A and B are shown apart, each in its own frame.
Chain A
Amino acid sequence: MTKTISGSRGLTIEEPLLFEQGSPEQCGVDLEEPPAVVDRLGGLRRKAPIGLPGLAEPTVVRHYTRLSQKNFGIDSVFYPLGSCTMKHNPRLNEKMARLAGFADVHPFQPESTVQGALALIDLMAHWLKTLTGMPAVAMTPAAGAHGEFCGLMTIRAALEDRGETRTRVLVPESAHGTNPASAAACGFTVDPIPANRRGRVDLAALKSKLGPDVAAFMLTNPNTCGLFEDEILEISEAVHAAGAFFYGDGANYNAIVGRVRVADLGIDAMHINLHKTFSTPHGGGGPGAGPTVLSAALAPFAPLPGVIHDDTGFHLVEHAVGSGRKPCGRIKGYHGQFGVFIRALSYMMSMGADGLRQSASDAVLNANYLLARLSSDLTPSFEGPCMHEALFDDRFLKDSGVSTLDFAKALIDEGFHPMTMYFPLVVHGALLMEPTESESKETLDGFIASVQGLARRAKAGDGELFHNAPEFTPRRRLDETAAARSPVLRWSPAGGNGDKK
């Protein structure tokens, strides 16, 4: 219940919407008077007011500062969100991205004036190619899912070039939802592949589904159960024997960077989420970047633009004509997520070849430490060591009246962001924990103690604690059903979604 008249408590202050504050006379910027001219708007000057509020700068600063205080971030809490890789975001990356020579450069300046920017993209590509052992990389995908789309488009273009029509893409049941959605966006039909009892791809089932109409097999490795696909070489051989391409979802590349080269696994295309493996900020949901490494067979079909280097300097290839390439098209405006590249490169240079390898080792060590220490109180889904994340299911909550959701919400009151819940879909009531290499042993020990304590209270029948959790957050559980039933997606003076036209 609300503890104060205003609803404020401690450091968490209630904050109305922007639109419920200020007055039209207020403004948070000072602008000069425009020069007097006769307008050239052709009579299309805006007629009605926009409806924006006016706020002075101090009001705006306080508004967003208060909002920020209603968020968990990696800076403030342990954030073991499996499959999302919430690692430390170094501030050096932010400082580098704000250098005027990077931030204040226009995408269409003449090539001679952006040699540093093109060199940076080329250097970033060099790091990615060297780490993965792949000969080429498409730099423009804006996110992981966009990288999948890029890879599949490239595969489709390569198949068409060969004169082959292949319509099916095979995707494991444990895959991220983006995999089947990306395949559908490229015009493929999607065929699911079941997991075996060891949480890996069922190789026999895969082989039985491979055929002359299969364009690609998509595989996340380590997979979303946090397990390395130990039959990956047999998988890649079978996929290639069927004439199909092998797409790697690099969402979990952080577990193996510097220890395994993607090229050695027989992968033809793989996106790399720079915000996962290379520490660029998640920013509340983006922007990401998903450069996609490509095999020699797929390289000519990479989307435009690309950066090349000769003895006159760096050049942008923006058109297919005369380039010697057969691009699948253009998938993004301009030249890719340049600002994200700077941050990732700043991190890669900081870590170096040795540090990146150590990051994978520490990430895997931390996850196995959680797995080992929590195995007696929770129920691990699979036997053996895990990679960078530890997967449990809800058998330990059987008959307790506490669900995975309740358990996760109770962790919030313990000062931790919940683990990923109900994903992957191949186990019941999944709890997927990814500690990353950024966490100290002390932090993990504190988390383990909290999880153990909660598991024991759940088994002891203390259901009420879980059903009421969280209690100490700015808001308690929110009614998601009501939100979806009659969606209110914006503020308007009269309520609802504004004027119906």
Chain B
Amino acid sequence: MRYLPLTDADRKAMLAAIGVASVDDLFIDVPQAVRRDAPVELPPHASEYEVERRLTELAGRNLVAGSGPFFLGAGAYRHHVPATVDALIQRGEFLTSYTPYQPEVSQGTLQYLFEFQTQVALITGMEVANASMYDGATATAEAAAMACRITRRKSILLSGSLHPHYRSVTATALQFSGLTVEALDPDPLDLEDLIGRVGPETACVVVQNPGFFGRIVDLSALAAVCHDEGALLVVAVAEPVSLGLIEPPGAMGADIVVAEGQSIGNALNFGGPGLGLFATRERFVRQMSGRVVGQTVDADGRRGWVLTLSTREQHIRREKATSNICTNSGLCALAFTIHLALLGEAGLRKLAEINHAKAVRLAEKLQPVKGVRLLSQTFFNEFAVALSKPAADVVETLASRRILAGVPASRFYPSYPELDEVLLLAATEMTSEADMDSLVAALKEVLS
């Protein structure tokens, strides 16, 4: 078998050196009653080409996003990933290394994570960032818990603009923590009054910008009210490319910014793995969860990097740790940081401009279509429309024509019939004018 180097002769010699007759003698601590001699009922080992054949067959049963007009977003965005990114992350010294606990032989990982932390702080407008978390949803839950630790309060308010998965993950994660999570109704028209709900019990308000339904909001007034009341403002960003064009949360007064980093450097991958970004103010850093890299010097006085502030973490603090998290999303963070290094200041800004302009073009083309009503007055690269028919049915009909038309809100909110006609549509640099025209033509037909 190709992954196993030991030969039978090796095994025999090794057993002799150990002083036992067979490998079974090494398993003597396993109770006899549970030892299994026969292989389990699964196929035997297979050649590389056989595995390729079987998995390629499964892959062939999916409709590839890039095979036709495509307008899905809702927290996962289809951007171009430069070839350089994928080539570099597959270097074995990155791909096959462990968490950088031995800094002398991990300066490569540590330096790129330090650079990653800097990039995340810069784009979000914050002071410091950690070395990443599982995804945007779990990072949101960590942020809410952190806000409660900082304020010593227990009440968390989630805006209806927050991604429904971020909402449910936060509510699930904190359900037995003694904290209260109040989630406002989904809010495609931006009618909710967050400011009026902030009070002396509030630990934090969690909002998303741009919101789940597309809208971009100036959060400065909300931040000011939070701070007057001693609460924190947590801002989630589901599409970090937007940070190249719109005011970052840090500039609007956010105390913690979390984001899903997938859309920079990472493919869709059916939604996983993701990349949780997490940034905050320097004064809160000891309450932040997740791995962090810091600068220091070595025995010869040369600049270098180490994992630091580990006294917050589970391997030291056990049940008193800030979180049970033991891993980050290293390779996805590497893809993110390489893509952002390639883009740079000018590239990220221009990419964001293109995304916005494409979405505006799409909105302009859709607005005259009978049965389509634009709900989002402001947006970045994604907006909500109300259709004259249930959005899920329309999406299904268009999928049969190989047009992936967007995400129906009812997928997340089946118990809100008022959202049945709401459809989210996204455009990126990958969306062509011809794609838009195909969508418009198909919608005209289906909605007539």
Binds B, one of A103-111, A239-247, A391-399, A454-462: A103-111
Binds A, one of B151-159, B193-201, B358-366, B439-447: B358-366
Give B266 Cβ to nearest chain A Cβ, in Å. Answer: 9
Q: What does the 1/0 interface line of A109-121 toward B look like (CB < 8 Å)?
A: 1101111110110
- Is A115 a contact partner of B298 (Cβ separation < 8 A)? no
- Is A187 a contact partner of B111 (Cβ separation < 8 A)? no
Query: Is A318 an interface residue, CB under 8 A from the partner?
Result: yes
Find chain B residues with CB under 8 A from A19 CB: 115, 118
Query: Is A195 an interface residue, CB under 8 A from the partner?
Result: no
Which residue of chain A has the shortest Cβ distance to B399 in the bound complex?
A110
Query: Is A194 an interface residue, CB under 8 A from the partner?
Result: no
Query: Is B448 an interface residue, CB under 8 A from the partner?
Result: no
Given A44-B217, A333-B272, A484-B311, 8 other A-B residues pairs in contact with their CB atoms under 8 A:
A40-B379, A50-B345, A60-B338, A146-B138, A281-B331, A284-B331, A351-B45, A364-B26
| Bound CA span A362–B7, Å | 10
Which residue of chain A has the shortest Cβ distance to B134 in the bound complex?
A142
| Bound CA span A42–B361, Å | 16
Find chain A residues with CB under 8 A from B109 CB: 67, 71, 284-285
Give A4 Cβ to nearest chain B Cβ, in Å. Answer: 12
Give B275 Cβ to nearest chain A Cβ, in Å. Answer: 8
Find chain A residues with CB under 8 A from B33 CB: 233, 264
| Bound CA span A437–B5, Å | 8
- Is B314 a contact partner of A145 (Cβ separation < 8 A)? yes
Find chain B residues with CB under 8 A from A44 CB: 216-218, 246-247, 378
With contacts A94-B90, A328-B172, A490-B121 taken as known, whether A478 is within 8 angstroms of B379 at the C-beta atoms is no
Which residue of chain A has the shortest Cβ distance to B215 in the bound complex?
A42
Number of interface residues of A (CB under 8 A): 215
Query: Is A401 an interface residue, CB under 8 A from the partner?
Result: no
Q: What does the 1/0 interface line of B50-82 toward A look like (CB < 8 Å)?
A: 111011101111111110001010111010001
Which residue of chain A has the shortest Cβ distance to B102 in the bound complex?
A418
Q: What does the 1/0 interface line of B216-245 toward A look like (CB < 8 Å)?
A: 111000000000000000000000000111
Query: Is B21 an interface residue, CB under 8 A from the partner?
Result: no
Which of B55, B328, B346, B395 is the one whose CB lies under 8 Å from A345? B55
Query: Is B203 an interface residue, CB under 8 A from the partner?
Result: no
- Is B285 a contact partner of A352 (Cβ separation < 8 A)? no
Query: Is B192 an interface residue, CB under 8 A from the partner?
Result: no
- Is A355 a contact partner of B4 (Cβ separation < 8 A)? yes
Which residue of chain A has the shortest Cβ distance to B112 in the bound complex?
A67
With contacts A19-B115, A149-B324, A342-B55 taken as known, whether A29 is within 8 angstroms of B82 at the C-beta atoms is yes
Give B344 Cβ to nearest chain A Cβ, in Å. Answer: 4
Interface residues of B in 120-137 (CB under 8 A from A): 121-123, 127-129, 131-132, 134-137
Q: Which of B30, B78, B109 has the most C-beta atoms of chain A within 10 angstroms of its own C-beta?
A: B30
Q: What does the 1/0 interface line of A458-501 toward B look like (CB < 8 Å)?
A: 00000000001010011111111011100111111000011111
Interface residues of B in 369-404 (CB under 8 A from A): 377-380, 395-396, 399-400, 404
Which residue of chain B has the shortest Cβ distance to A110 in the bound complex?
B399
| Bound CA span A92–B55, Å | 11
Q: Which of A142, A355, A366 has the most C-beta atoms of chain B within 10 angstroms of its own C-beta?
A: A142
Query: Is A216 an interface residue, CB under 8 A from the partner?
Result: no
- Is B246 a contact partner of A113 (Cβ separation < 8 A)? no
- Is B66 a contact partner of A100 (Cβ separation < 8 A)? yes
Which of B39, B96, B114, B344 is the one whose CB lies under 8 Å from A52? B344
- Is A54 a contact partner of B118 (Cβ separation < 8 A)? no
What are 26 A-to-B residue pairs whose CB atoms are below 8 Å?
A27-B342, A32-B429, A40-B379, A45-B246, A45-B247, A46-B247, A49-B345, A71-B93, A72-B102, A104-B66, A148-B324, A149-B173, A185-B323, A232-B31, A233-B34, A287-B332, A334-B76, A334-B271, A353-B44, A357-B39, A365-B15, A366-B14, A418-B102, A468-B299, A483-B294, A487-B294
- Is A51 a contact partner of B55 (Cβ separation < 8 A)? no
| Bound CA span A29–B267, Å | 17
- Is A105 a contact partner of B64 (Cβ separation < 8 A)? yes
Give A118 Cβ to nearest chain B Cβ, in Å. Answer: 9
Which residue of chain A has the shortest Cβ distance to B396 in the bound complex?
A110
Which residue of chain B has the shortest Cβ distance to A38 in the bound complex?
B360
Q: Which of A86, A117, A142, A333 has the most C-beta atoms of chain B within 10 angstroms of its own C-beta?
A: A333
Which residue of chain B has the shortest Cβ distance to A31 in the bound complex?
B350
With contacts A100-B66, A108-B74, A498-B121 taken as known, whether A180 is within 8 angstroms of B319 at the C-beta atoms is yes
- Is A350 a contact partner of B3 (Cβ separation < 8 A)? yes
Which residue of chain B has the shortest Cβ distance to A144 in the bound complex?
B326
| Bound CA span A372–B18, Å | 5
Which residue of chain A has the shortest Cβ distance to B301 in the bound complex?
A2
| Bound CA span A32–B432, Å | 12
Which of A15, A74, A355, A361 is the one whose CB lies under 8 Å from B96? A74
Query: Is B6 an interface residue, CB under 8 A from the partner?
Result: yes
Query: Is A90 an interface residue, CB under 8 A from the partner?
Result: yes
Query: Is A253 an interface residue, CB under 8 A from the partner?
Result: no
Q: Which of A259, A328, A492 has the most C-beta atoms of chain B within 10 angstroms of its own C-beta?
A: A259
Q: What does the 1/0 interface line of A318-353 toward B look like (CB < 8 Å)?
A: 110100000011111111111110100110111111
Find chain B residues with CB under 8 A from A189 CB: 319
With contacts A15-B111, A71-B94 taken as known, whether A96 is within 8 angstroms of B55 at the C-beta atoms is yes
- Is A76 a contact partner of B92 (Cβ separation < 8 A)? yes
- Is B58 a contact partner of A116 (Cβ separation < 8 A)? yes
Interface residues of A in 180-232 (CB under 8 A from B): 180-187, 189-190, 227-230, 232
Q: What does the 1/0 interface line of B289-304 toward A look like (CB < 8 Å)?
A: 0011111111110101
Give A231 Cβ to nearest chain B Cβ, in Å. Answer: 9
Which residue of chain A has the shortest Cβ distance to B406 in the bound complex?
A108
- Is A105 a contact partner of B347 (Cβ separation < 8 A)? no
With contacts A42-B377, A478-B297 taken as known, whether A333 is within 8 angstroms of B169 at the C-beta atoms is yes
Query: Is B119 an interface residue, CB under 8 A from the partner?
Result: yes
Find chain A residues with CB under 8 A from B64 CB: 100-101, 104-105
Find chain A residues with CB under 8 A from B353 CB: 34
Query: Is A260 an interface residue, CB under 8 A from the partner?
Result: yes
Which residue of chain B has the shortest Cβ distance to A152 in the bound complex?
B176
